[in-house]
Amino acid sequence: MNRLILRTLLSHWRSRPFQIVTLLLGLTVATALWSGVQAINAEARASYAQAAATLGTDRFDSLQPRGAETFDQEAYIALRRAGWDVSPVVEGSLRLGGERYRVLGIDPVTAPASLPARPDLQGADLTDFLGPTGLILISASTTLPPDVDLPPVRVVEGIAPGTLVMDIGLAQTLLTMPGQLSRLILLPGVQGAPPIAEASGVVFDRIAPRGDGGGIAALTDSFHLNLTAFGFLAFAVGLFIVYSSIGLAFEQRKPMLRTLRALGVPLRRLMLVMVAELTALALLAGIAGVALGYLIAASLLPDVAATLEGLYGAQVSGSLSLRPAWWATGLLIAMGGAALAAGDTLWRTARMPLLSAAMPEAWHGAQARAQFWQGIAALGCFALALVLCFTASSLTAGFALMGALLIGAALALPVVLATILRIGAARARGPLSQWGWADARQQMSRLSLALMALLLALSANIGVGTMVMSFRDTFTGWLDQRLVAEVYVTASDAEQGRAIHAWATDRVDAVLPIWSAEARLGAVPISIYGVAQHPTYSEHWPLIEALPGAWQSVASGEGALINEQMAARRDLSPGDALILPTPDGTDWPLTITAIYSDYGNPVDQVMVDVGLLATRYPDIERLRFALRTADAPQVIEEARARFGLSSEQVVDQAAIKALSLAIFERTFTVTGALNILTLAVAALALLTAMLTLQLMRLPSLAPLWAMGLTRAALARAELVKVLALALLTAILSIPIGLGVAWVLTNVINVMAFGWRLPMNLYPMDWLRLIGLALLTATVAAGLPVLRLARTAPRTLLGVFASER
Amino acid sequence: MRVLVFLLLLPTLAFAQGFAGLGTATQEGFATPERGATLTFPTDHAAHPDYRIEWWYLTANMTGPDGATYGAQWTLFRSALAPGEGEGWASPQIWMGHAALTTADRHFVAETFARGGIGQAGVTAQPFAAWIDDWQIAGPDLTEVTVRARGDGFAYTLDLATSAPFVAQGDGGYSVKSGAGQASYYYSQPFYDLTGMIEIGGVPTPVTGQAWLDREWSSQPLAETQDGWDWFSIHFESGEKLMAFRLRDNSGAPFHSGTWIDADGTPHPLDGDTLSFTELERAQTSGPQVPIAWRVQIAQRGLDITTRPLNPDAWMDTLFPYWEGPIHVEGSHDGIGYLEMTGYE
């Protein structure tokens, strides 16, 4: 009997293939966007974890020299001889044929056995690895330029992409750092050895392992949360399509269900078969959605990888691997989505009175009741948003605030639209106009879901667009302030750095060293930058908050400037004391005298006097200089000719700005792509709603036709109604979008990156978006309206013959 | 004699080119031991980087104040990927250290590795020092040294001294290892008097006893068919010493060899035919089953003894595992010593 019931139920889809197509399409698209975003996140996180595993920083403590990039390997020997179980590591980057590779030099005999890159002590690899020519280990996804002079390369599993693993001696040679090490892996279980600083004569920072991919994972968290939020938004919008198709199918199958029940099919069995039908559909759509999601992720991943590398220096594999867990979650999400969208329908089926007649007029009361509850829910969402607005203290809470705002707005939309239509109807003159307003209100009940989807997509669009453009404007203005020097030079080594310094001192108006040290404050890494005393800084550097005489205090060695994100994360303000660590282990007490904006930088930063930095951190690299000159092209040419510097080592201001802006633009490529996809999904929702509506509305339109309105006039009236509703929705989406933008710039950005952005308004973009919404509505309504205009008179006549 | 340890290790270690390559062929460029060469001290106490493998192998039998007996092992192995020494990380030398401390019911093992050329491990002759990490045997010269090592749950510091001469094994230090003629340079110092301190789980115990140092280096030491050995070093109560081993051969009769050492240090190489090794009992260790009780007979010396271990589970769970532990000896002669067994699976 189950089979019979199923056949009967399925016969509905056979006669309305379009409906099942929209249902499947909606669920597929929703699943695809969601799982696509998840795939990107999973790939990126896997890359971080693999990088950390390759480096051993996921399981082992690391010892990093304080305030220096490298240290003498004698310190390593001293630690081993003192009984510390440490293994040396040399790290650096190498440019081969225009590509940058990470070099990781290890000592396989002391490296922990679980280090993925370590050649097996029992394998033949070791002989080659340590042999005179050496061996380079890479992952299968890493390709090397063909014409470089390197030792033999072998592909092994478990190495992060873009990383070359080799023996430590070979790494020292390739990176020209003889006798120098970058860090030590510290293995657990050492007892009774003398303190590390005492044994080695070097001050090390001990860095605890991070299982999740380490600092990079923490830095990029906000980026991934952003993507997730977008994926979720697209998923929610997609579910509107599913909800409306399932709801429609239920309405249309009502007589069939009643007949089945009347024939004696038990409710339980009917429900079971319906659930089975839904599960099968969800499974089908889920598989297609996951496959489509894979394609989306694969096409977006290169941009994401570029963004992550540009922003955070995180290496992410540009190619996507298939993960079973991801397939499974994709299918589950599809099922969950289908259940969510169909829950209401199943509930109504379960409660349907056996002999309920068609109640064409009942919709009005039902709609009013539904709107009342929707209004209450919307108010609840807004209230939650308001509370979160003042209390949100985490990124998740920030997204919850945005969610509450968007859902509240979507729920409120039908209420607001209905009110507007009621007012319109009250003022309407003439029968046709009155009918139009009233009919629009009736249509609302079916269209409202699609309109809600449109509202969500448009609001998100305005919100994100406003945030990105505000950010871009602020960023470019800030770059102009910050990049004042005309020429930026990077020396190849310390000796050349000294030579360049000497030459430039005579040649240009001012030489401003850009020297920095990496250190740790608490457990968190910070950069300490040294700045020279020069109007370049004191007159241009963009300060947000400052004590009087901030720059003088830096020059006198008492003051320090910190960036906005450091101030936000550590709750610091001008006047607070700041104690910096130093390589010799002594404290370096300073007073914070100003806070400066530092967009695009994920790391906490401190600025101090350069002379003092060089004294406290004697081992910093003295390679970078900013030059002030009125004669930039000539200076660049001379520097290149004199020191044999590459075009990357001598750059002018314009090139640096262009590079910074390019990184900025790439950062938001993915956001833009998801934004457009979401809008496309909303258009699809509107289209499906319109198409199904058209079928249902023939009975309401047929009498008008019979009274003498032409089909063309009816079609025009339909189009105008849909456009009017879309226009209203678009206009309503502007304040909502601005609310979203405010949340993004003032809550989420602050939580995610630590910087607050001024929010600018871009009315021209709103107009463009309203145009886009109308276009969307025209496209969505076009086909149904065209079909209406071409409906055969026989069909319209048939309405009067058929039973409702 | 400990040559064999490393030999079995080597094929798996892959420091060499595989087991087959080790058999009879001399490795490209490595020096080989030659009969008739004379050992020179203290020079020969230091490393011989032109030979492929070499070790400084110390075992000690010790007694605590309550009469409890202990065993200690301290070993430094050197293995060369290529002959000679190189600068820094380019050195082809690799070092491996094993340390163990054995009681009647516990057996502590530690293992460590180092690259040559950078100072993490090495050996100097005068003043003598052999070290890897914080383990070392060091003193003004090899007749008066302090031995240190520590590992998970144990540590020891042992002072060794002797006035006895070093004892050349085999033919004046040329020790043959197979019927086909594989050989190594091999000398010993079996006459150390020991005082020191052992530490188990942080609890120190003073000890006294005897220690035995073996020095051996070679480049081509084992026949292809030899797959393990049983090696004894014994201090008799008379003050005499015995070194005896059996190399098991999967293609035929085992190869026997040994040296009888008078109390004054005079060595008497033993004819292999006069040595007899009989397994008396096997026991399960934390590794495989191994023979733990032996009957050793040397007709020409009137020797007929039974050896039993202090701790049957002296299994060395190292990268290349083997059995090594203190034994006590009864029969025609009484004494104490060390037994090493490899190649059991």
Q: Which of B170, B177, B12, B133 is nearest to B79 (CA)?
A: B12
pLDDT reported for residue B14 = 30
Lowest mean pLDDT among A25-29, A681-685, A720-724, B68-72: A681-685
**What CATH number is associated with residue B48?**
2.40.370.10
Query: Do the Cβ atoms of A170 and A57 come closer than 8 Å?
Result: no
- Label residue A670 by pLDDT band (50, 70, 90): low
Residues 191-210 of chain A with CB under 8 A from chain B are 192-193
Q: How far is A100 from A669, CA to CA, in rounded Å?
A: 23
Q: How far is A766 from A747, CA to CA, in rounded Å?
A: 23
A472-498, pLDDT tens digit by residue? 888 788 878 777 888 888 888 888 889
Question: Global pTM?
Answer: 0.67
- Is there a contact between A169 and B94 if contact means CB atoms under 8 Å apart? no
- Is there a contact between A168 and B89 if contact means CB atoms under 8 Å apart? yes
Tell the residue number behind the tokens 């929610």, with chain if given: A236
Q: Spell out which residues of chain B touch residue A76, defining contact as CB-CB under 8 Å.
A: 120
Measured between CB atoms, does A123 come within 8 Å of chain B?
A: yes
In A294-349 the beta strands, taken as DSSP E runs, fall at none
Q: How far is A494 from A348, CA to CA, in rounded Å?
A: 77
- Is there a contact between B14 and A169 if contact means CB atoms under 8 Å apart? no
Query: Do the Cβ atoms of A159 and A119 come closer than 8 Å?
Result: no
Domain-located, residue B26? no
- Rounded mean pLDDT of chain A? 81
The CA-based angle A309-A313-A318, given to 5 degrees, is 35
DSSP assignments along A23-85, one per residue = HHHHHHHHHHHHHHHHHHHHHHHHHHHHHHHHHTTTTSEEEEETT-S-EEHHHHHHHHHTT--
Percent of chain A exceeding pLDDT 70 equals 89
* Candidates A122, A131, A169; nearest CB to B89: A169
pLDDT reported for residue A715 = 85
Amino acid identity for residue B334 in this structure:
D
- Label residue A364 by pLDDT band (50, 70, 90): low
Q: How is residue B45 annotated by DSSP?
A: G
The CA-based angle A300-A304-A305, given to 5 degrees, is 115
Q: Which of A233, A671, A670, A772 is nearest to A457 (CA)?
A: A233
Residues 137-176 of chain B with CB under 8 A from chain A are 150, 152, 155
pLDDT reported for residue B15 = 30
Q: Three-state SS across A104-152?
A: EEECCCCCCCCCCCCCCCCCCHHHHHHCCCCCEEECCCCCCCCCCCCCC
A774-783, pLDDT tens digit by residue? 887 888 788 7
- Is there a contact between B14 and A167 if contact means CB atoms under 8 Å apart? no
Q: Where does A649-758 have alpha helices with state H?
A: 653-667, 669-706, 711-743, 749-752
Q: Which of A518, A543, A545 is nearest to A530 (CA)?
A: A518
Q: Which of A435, A442, A441 is nearest to A418 (CA)?
A: A441
- Mind listing the pLDDT tens digit of every residue in chain B (345 residues)? 333 333 333 333 333 222 223 333 345 788 988 998 899 999 999 999 999 899 999 999 999 999 999 999 999 999 888 898 888 999 999 999 999 999 999 999 999 999 999 999 999 998 999 999 999 999 999 999 999 999 999 999 999 999 999 999 999 999 888 777 788 899 999 999 999 999 999 899 999 999 999 999 988 656 677 788 899 999 999 999 999 999 898 888 899 999 999 999 999 999 888 999 999 999 999 989 999 999 999 988 999 999 999 999 999 998 888 999 999 999 999 999 999 998 888
Quick check: helix, strand or coil at residue B262? coil
B159's CB contacts (< 8 A; 6+ apart) are B145, B146, B147, B194, B195, B196
Q: How many domains does chain B have?
A: 1
Number of C-beta neighbours around residue A492 at 10 A = 15
Q: How far is A581 from A639, CA to CA, in rounded Å?
A: 36
Rg of chain B over Cα atoms, rounded to whole angstroms, equals 19
A209-225, pLDDT tens digit by residue? 765 444 556 556 666 76
Q: How far is B311 from B320, CA to CA, in rounded Å?
A: 20
Q: Spell out which residues of chain A touch residue B133, defining contact as CB-CB under 8 Å.
A: 80-81, 83
B64-80 in b/e form (b: 16+ CB < 10 A) is eeeeebbbbbbbbbbbb
Q: Spell out which residues of chain B touch residue A174, defining contact as CB-CB under 8 Å.
A: none
Type and span of the H or E element at A793: helix A793-801
Number of C-beta neighbours around residue A368 at 10 A = 11
* pLDDT value at A283 more than 80: yes
pLDDT reported for residue B325 = 96
Query: What are the Cα distances from residue A701, in Å, to A19, A205, A398, A708, B18?
Result: 21, 78, 47, 11, 90
pLDDT reported for residue A682 = 74
In which domain, by residue range, is B54 found? 3-21+31-342
Q: How far is A674 from A299, CA to CA, in rounded Å?
A: 12
Q: How far is A731 from A763, CA to CA, in rounded Å?
A: 12
A328-361, pLDDT tens digit by residue? 888 888 888 888 778 877 887 777 766 554 444 4
pLDDT reported for residue A365 = 60
Residues 96-135 of chain B with CB under 8 A from chain A are 113-115, 118-120, 131, 133-134
Amino acid identity for residue B113 in this structure:
F
A653's CB contacts (< 8 A; 6+ apart) are A483, A484, A485, A486, A487, A488, A632
pLDDT reported for residue B115 = 92
Q: How far is B219 from B28, CA to CA, in rounded Å?
A: 10
Domain-located, residue B163? yes
The two three-digit tokens of residue A170, written as one number: 């070979």
Residues across chain B: 345
pLDDT reported for residue B267 = 96
- Label residue A299 by pLDDT band (50, 70, 90): confident
Q: How far is B310 from B317, CA to CA, in rounded Å?
A: 18
For testing the chain B interface, which of A74, A107, A181 should be mutated: the one with the most B CBs within 10 Å?
Answer: A107
In A532-676 the beta strands, taken as DSSP E runs, fall at 543-546, 559-563, 577-581, 587-596, 604-609, 624-628, 650-652
- Is there a contact between B88 and A178 if contact means CB atoms under 8 Å apart? yes
